[in-house]
Structure 1
C-alpha cells in the first residue's frame, strides 16, 4: 500500500465485446471526478491505451495500465457479471468495491454499490443502492409535446444493432413524422448500414461523437435508448424516454421502474400518440420522486467521495492478517466477513472511526445503555469479578502458582475486577486507555495501573510476567488481534491463565436473527466471537481453552412456548450445553510453543 497521504485506487471495468462501453466511460468519468476533488488519490485503470473511450478523456491516457498491480488500497470493479476467481484475485490486492456487479462474483466483493436498479435474485443486497450516486445532469422541466426532436442512441457498441433495426422498422417515422431524429450509432454500425439509413430516412441525422452528451439531453423532446446510464441521464434532464431492449433482463428492469418501451409496428395502429407521450412524461416525474427519496440516504455526497472513503478501509482479518471473500452480512456502515483461515468473524468499516474511551464513555454513554453509570454498577461488577476469580483459582491451583498470584487486567476501566482480585489476595495491576479511569484506579483504589493500550504496555509494570491476564469485554475491540494475543502470550508465565469475556454470535440472539444481531453490534467491536472459533484462534496463539461459560442468558428471546415454567427450568441446562448465551466467558491456559 502507499503512504498515509496517498490512496491507490485501481479501476477494473468491463472491456469485453458485447457489454457496451458504458462501464469504461463511467470508470473514466469517476476517475476524472476523483482527481479534481481528491488530488492525493493515485488512480489507475486497467484499460488498453488505444481504447476509444479515452477519446472523451484524453488526459487519463497516462493512467492506463494493461495488467493488475501487486497492491492497491481499493479496487473498483465495474463489471456486470464478474467471475468468482476474478474477485478472489482482486481481493488479494486490497478492498474490492463492486459497482452494479452481478453473480457469480457479486457476493465476494468487500463492498457493493448498486447505482442502477436490479432484479432481486439469490445474491445478497448491496451495502448501498441509489440512483443518486449517478452523476446526473440538472432537471430542466418544459413542455416537450409535440415531439420535434428525438435522440436515438444505444451505446458505444450496440451489439444487438437495435439502432439499425429501429430505423428499418419505420416506427419513429410513423410516431413522429415531423420530428428531427439525431442518431448516435454504435461502433458496430457498418458503412453500408450508415448509407442505407441515410438514403432511406432523410430525416435521420447521424452523428458519431457528441462530447458531454449528458449536457445536451435537455434540448431533446424524447430519447430512444436501452435501460442504462443514458436512460437515467435523460430522465434527470427532464426528457422522456422510450426504451428498446437487448435482452429480457433489460425488459424486466425497465418494467420494474415503470419505464415505457417503444411500441411495435403492430401496436402503433391502435396507439393514441398524445396519451402515449403523456404516459412517457409521467415516468420523468416518478424518476425524480425516486431520486429525491434515495438521495437522502447516501453515505457520501457522490460516488467519488464514497470511493475515496473506502480506499481507507482495511479488509484484512484481525486474527491472522489474511484476506477472505466469505461475506456474512452487509449494511450501509460495514461488511462482516468470516475469515477462511482462522474462522474469525470480523467487520470491515466503510468509514474508519475512532472511539474516545473517556469519562463520558463510562458515565453518560454507559448510563444510556444500562440505566446507570459504570461507577453506580461498581459493586455489581465486582461481585461478578469474584465469581470469575474462583474459576481462575481452579486453573491456577493445578500449576503451582503462589498464594498471591500476579494479575494484569487489560481494559480495567474503573477497576471493579481489580478490587475483587485485591480482596482475594491477588497482586493486581491495570491497563486502560482512559486516563480518568487509570487515575481513579491508582488514587482511589490504590492499585497500580498504566494508561495506554496493549501495544504501549511498559515492561517495567511487571518485568517478571503475570500469572493471569484478563480482558473483560475488551478483546472484541482489538484491531490487531493476532499481535495482541502474541503479546499476551509473552506477558504470561508458563501455565498462566488467559481469562476473557466477549459477545457470542452463537447465542440465542445471533441464532434467531443473525442480521439483526450484527446490525446492533457496537461499531467499535472489530470481531464477533463464537465458542468454536475462539478455540481455534486461541490454540493458534499457544493457548488451550479449558472452560467456556455461557452468559447473558435471555429466556424472553426464545419462542413463547419455551418460556413455560418447565422449559424455563430446563433452559439454563440447555443453554449451558449448547452455549446459547449472548456472551461467554473463556478461560484458557498458556502452553509451550513447539
Structure 2
C-alpha cells in the first residue's frame, strides 16, 4: 500500500437491536467516498470495519455482500489508520478512550461521550435536534432515482417495512392490524423481511418481499409506506409517496415528530382506510409536502443524494491535525466550538485552548502578507504603518525596563520589518531579529542596520545564526499563537533566555469582551494560523510549566463598541462608561505578559 495513502475506516454499529441502518449507511458512504477520491485523483482508501468481537447482527454477511466494491476489514490493527469514522449512535467509554489514542476521530450522529471529544462531528437530519453544535449538518440519505409523478389520492398499495432487523417485532403486529381493516376494502399489503429479521407468521394475503437489495428504488410503486423513523422514511419522502411512522421507542418518536413526520400507534392506523380516509390522506400528503420543502428535497429531477455530500465532506478533510494538547500532550480535551473548517478544544489538564483545522491551507509570510493582506485589514501596508507600530512599542519597553538592564541583549521573534527593534535600539538595547519572511529580514538588516536572520524559531541556533549564546530578553509580539508545536517553542525560549531573563509576549485574549459575549463568534473570527488561544490566567499557568514566572500582565485592545446590547439611547448613554469599565475588569481583546525565567530547565 502506498505510504502516502490516506487510510480511512468506518466503524458502524453491528450490535443486535441497533438495526442495520448504521451498517448500510457506512457501506454506502464508504463506496461513494472511494469513487469521489478516485475521480478527483486523491490518494484515499476507505474501508469498513466489521467488528468480530461480541454479538453481531444475524445474516450480517448478506448485507455486506450487497456492497461488493467496499473493502471490509475485520481487525483494527491491520492498518495504520489516518481517520476513523464512528457511526455507533452512542459510543461506549472504553471504545472512545481506545480510539482517541490512534488518529483523527470523526463522529457521525454521535450522542455519547465521543460527541464532545471527537475531532470532527457530522450530524444528519436523522439524528434529530443537535445536542451540541456539530462541524457539519447534512441530510445524509440517498433519494431514489425512481419517483412518483404525483402523490397518491387514495391508498391501494401498502408497503410495511421496519428495517433490516425489526428488533421490536413491529412487522407482524402492523400486518395483522392492517389486514383486518383491509379485508373489505381490498388494499394490497406487502411486508419486507430484512436479512437480519426473524421469521414471522403473517395473515393470509400479505405478500412478503425478502431482503431487497435496493428497497428505495421500489418505494414509488406503493401509495403508503409504513415504517419507523430512519433512512426509509426519508427515502419514501423523496419518492413522493405517503409515509406514516410507527416507532419502537420514545426516542424514535421524538425524532420523528421533531422532523415533522406523521406518526401513529399500530391500533390507530385504520383511520387511513374506509370512510373519511381520502381527507386524512390529503392532510397527510400536505404535511409531507411541507416536510419535503423544509428539507430542500427537490420536487423534480435527479434524486436527492445526501450521502454523496457527506462523502465529499469527508474527502476534503485533512487528517494531519493535532490529536493531543500541544502543551501537555494529553488526549483529555473537550470541544468548545465547531464549524465546517475547524474545531476548538480546551485541554482538561492544562486548560490550553487549541485549534484543529481540517482544510488544506498553508499560510506563507511573504510580501503579500505584509502588504496586500495587511492593507485589506488595516487600510495601509505594514511599512506605511511602521511609525504607528513603533509608537506602541514605547509602553512595552517601559514595562520591560522594570525587569531588565539598560543594555540587555534582545531577540525579537517574528520581528517583521523591525518597528519594535528600531525603538528598542533607540533605548539602548542590543537588538537582534528573527522572522520567516526573507524580505522583512533583508529590510531589517539593510535599512535598520540591525542583525537579523530568516529562520524558523524551532530550528534556530543562536550561536551559528547570530553568534550569541543566549539572550537577556526574548519578545514575541502576536507570535506565540502561531506555533503549532507550542511545547517545543516554549522549550526553545527557556533554553536561550538567560537565568533571570525576560520573556515578553502579546496575543489575543479569549477572556476579553468579545470572547465572553460570544465565544463562538470570537473563535469563528480567529485566524486559521492561530494554533492556540490564550488568556492572562492561562499564560501564567502554562509559562510556569517552562520555568517562567509572570511578573506583569497588561490587558490591551479595549473596544467599548463590542459590548453587547448597545443600541439606541441606552447605548449612547453607556458608551462613555464602558472604556473605564473595560479597563477595570480587564476586558480587552488582547493582552501582554512579561515573565521572568526563574530556573534553567536545560
The answer on 1:521 being equivalent to 2:529 is no
Partner of residue 128 from structure 1, selected from 113, 130, 136? 136
Aligned to 1:48: 52
- Give 3-state SS (helix, strand or coil) of 1:279's partner: helix
The answer on 1:535 being equivalent to 2:545 is no
Deviates more, 1:63-72 or 1:250-259: 63-72
Aligned-residue offset at 1:352: 3.7
The answer on 1:75 being equivalent to 2:81 is no
Q: Is the 8 A contact 1:428 1:448 kept in 2?
A: yes
CA shift digits 1:508-536 (9 cap, x unpaired) = 22222222221222222111101121112
Aligned-residue offset at 1:60: 7.0
Quote the Cα distance in structure 1 between the aligned partners of 2:3 and 2:161.
44
Quote the Cα distance in structure 1 between the aligned partners of 2:370 and 2:364.
10
TM-score, normalised with respect to structure 1: 0.87
Partner of residue 308 from structure 1, selected from 305, 315, 329? 315
Q: Is the 8 A contact 1:74 1:311 kept in 2?
A: no
Deviates more, 1:265-274 or 1:440-449: 265-274
Label 1:317 to 1:299 Cα distance change in 2 as closer, same or farther (>3 A).
farther
Aligned runs of 1:42-441 on 2, under 5 Å? 42-48=46-52, 52-58=59-65, 59=68, 63-66=72-75, 72-120=81-129, 123-131=131-139, 133-138=140-145, 140-145=147-152, 146-170=154-178, 174=182, 177-186=185-194, 190-191=198-199, 193=200, 196-197=201-202, 200-202=203-205, 204-262=206-264, 264-265=268-269, 267-268=271-272, 272-292=276-296, 302-310=309-317, 312=319, 313-397=321-405, 403-441=406-444
Q: Is the 8 A contact 1:184 1:207 kept in 2?
A: yes
The answer on 1:478 being equivalent to 2:477 is no
Quote the Cα distance in structure 2 between the aligned partners of 1:299 and 1:25.
14
Deviates more, 1:105-114 or 1:52-61: 52-61
Quote the Cα distance in structure 2 between the aligned partners of 1:572 and 1:265.
63
Aligned to 1:457: 460
Quote the Cα distance in structure 2 between the aligned partners of 1:586 and 1:69.
48
Q: Is the 8 A contact 2:435 2:441 kept in 1?
A: yes
Label 1:553 to 1:242 Cα distance change in 2 as closer, same or farther (>3 A).
same
Q: Is the 8 A contact 1:138 1:236 kept in 2?
A: no
Aligned-residue offset at 1:208: 1.9
Aligned-residue offset at 1:143: 2.8
Q: Calculate the aligned-residue CA RMSD, in Å.
A: 3.2
Q: Is the 8 A contact 1:508 1:557 kept in 2?
A: yes
Quote the Cα distance in structure 1 between the aligned partners of 2:332 and 2:402.
39
CA shift digits 1:380-424 (9 cap, x unpaired) = 110111221222222113xxxxx5332221111221111112212
Aligned to 2:514: 509
- What are the ranges of 5 or more consecutive residues in structure 1 without an aligned counterpart? 398-402
Aligned-residue offset at 1:462: 2.0
Deviates more, 1:354-363 or 1:518-527: 354-363
Label 1:190 to 1:365 Cα distance change in 2 as closer, same or farther (>3 A).
closer
Quote the Cα distance in structure 2 between the aligned partners of 1:173 and 1:373.
79
- Give 3-state SS (helix, strand or coil) of 1:589's partner: strand
Q: Is the 8 A contact 2:318 2:359 kept in 1?
A: no
- What are the ranges of 5 or more consecutive residues in structure 2 without an aligned counterpart? 38-42
Q: Is the 8 A contact 1:236 1:284 kept in 2?
A: no
Deviates more, 1:561-570 or 1:139-148: 561-570
Q: Is the 8 A contact 1:118 1:253 kept in 2?
A: yes
CA shift digits 1:13-34 (9 cap, x unpaired) = 2222221111122122222223
Aligned-residue offset at 1:42: 4.9
Aligned to 2:40: none
- Give 3-state SS (helix, strand or coil) of 1:496's partner: strand
- Give 3-state SS (helix, strand or coil) of 1:56's partner: helix
Quote the Cα distance in structure 2 between the aligned partners of 1:541 and 1:428.
24
Aligned-residue offset at 1:458: 4.9
Aligned-residue offset at 1:156: 1.4
Quote the Cα distance in structure 2 between the aligned partners of 1:181 and 1:355.
62
**How many residue pairs are counted as aligned between the two chains?**
575
CA shift digits 1:116-175 (9 cap, x unpaired) = 244447x312221121x3333346341353544332210111111111011111268539
